[in-house]
Every structure is written in structure tokens, then in C-alpha cells.
């Protein structure tokens, strides 16, 4: 689902639609950033129990780790907070473009 005005995926509408169709869903939200981060605070990623996702909280290995954790959150029903940080030298390899750190809150959507 995309925002009519911007053409950008509306992750919260997608989460609502997926839940309405009976899919188990988790929502990941960037809650804090330090230094350089590819996505701002408030960015979302919606994930279903099969690992399908829409939106973005970072990119690279970080996004893969968030999807994996989100599947666990769906199964357990318990939210979690994840923190990712990296030195400038290895930043591009994991998807944090210029170093920095991010915290991501992952919660099941009821």
C-alpha cells in the first residue's frame, strides 16, 4: 500500500491490511539514532511470520537481523529493543553508511 500523495509505501497501512487478512505481524520502529544513520527516528518496517517485509529501518545486515528478530517477536508475543552500532571502517558492510548507532523497537501487532 502506498501513500496517494507521495507514492511511498505506507507501512502502518500495510501492517493494518496484513493483520486484517489474518497474517501475524510485527512492527519495527527506529527509536533512537546516534551519529550517522540511513533512516531517521520513526522509520518503520512491517514484517509477517513468513519473513515478508515492507518499509525500512536501516538496510544491509541490520535489516536482515531485524526481520529475523521480528519473526521471533511474532512467535513469542514479546516486544524487544535491538541496538546496532559499528565503527566507520566497517559501516558500509552492515548497512550503516557512516558509522553511528541505531536502536529499533520491535513489537507484535495485535
Q: Is residue 26 part of a domain?
A: yes
Q: Which domain holds residue 16?
A: 11-109
> Count of domains in the chain?
1
Q: Is residue 62 part of a domain?
A: yes
Identify which of 54, 47, 57, 53 has the alpha carbon closest to the alpha carbon of residue 83: 57
Mean pLDDT value across the chain = 84
pTM of the shown model: 0.82
In this prediction, residue 72 carries a pLDDT of: 97
Q: Is residue 6 part of a domain?
A: no
Q: Could you tell me which residues are beta bridge partners of residue 99?
A: 97
In this prediction, residue 87 carries a pLDDT of: 55
What are 32-69's pLDDT values in tens digits? 998 777 889 999 999 999 999 999 998 777 899 999 99
Identify which of 63, 54, 59 has the alpha carbon closest to the alpha carbon of residue 9: 54
Contact 56, 63 (CB under 8 A): yes
Q: Is residue 4 part of a domain?
A: no
The Cα–Cα gap between 30 and 102 comes to: 7
The Cα–Cα gap between 98 and 87 comes to: 8
The Cα–Cα gap between 25 and 51 comes to: 9
Grid coordinates of 13: 497501512
SS3 call for 65: helix
What are 1-31's pLDDT values in tens digits? 544 444 446 899 999 999 999 999 999 999 9
Amino acid at each position: 500500500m502506498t501513500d496517494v500523495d507521495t507514492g511511498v509505501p505506507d507501512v502502518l497501512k500495510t501492517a493494518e491490511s496484513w493483520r486484517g487478512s489474518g497474517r501475524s505481524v510485527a512492527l519495527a520502529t527506529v527509536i533512537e539514532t546516534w551519529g550517522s544513520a540511513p533512516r531517521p527516528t520513526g522509520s518503520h518496517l512491517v514484517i509477517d511470520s513468513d519473513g515478508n517485509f515492507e518499509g525500512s529501518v536501516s538496510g544491509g545486515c541490520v535489516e536482515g537481523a531485524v526481520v529475523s528478530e521480528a519473526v521471533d517477536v511474532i512467535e513469542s508475543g514479546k516486544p524487544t529493543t535491538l541496538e546496532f552500532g559499528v565503527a566507520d571502517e566497517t559501516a558500509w558492510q552492515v548497512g550503516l553508511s557512516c558509522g553511528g548507532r541505531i536502536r529499533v523497537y520491535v513489537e507484535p501487532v495485535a
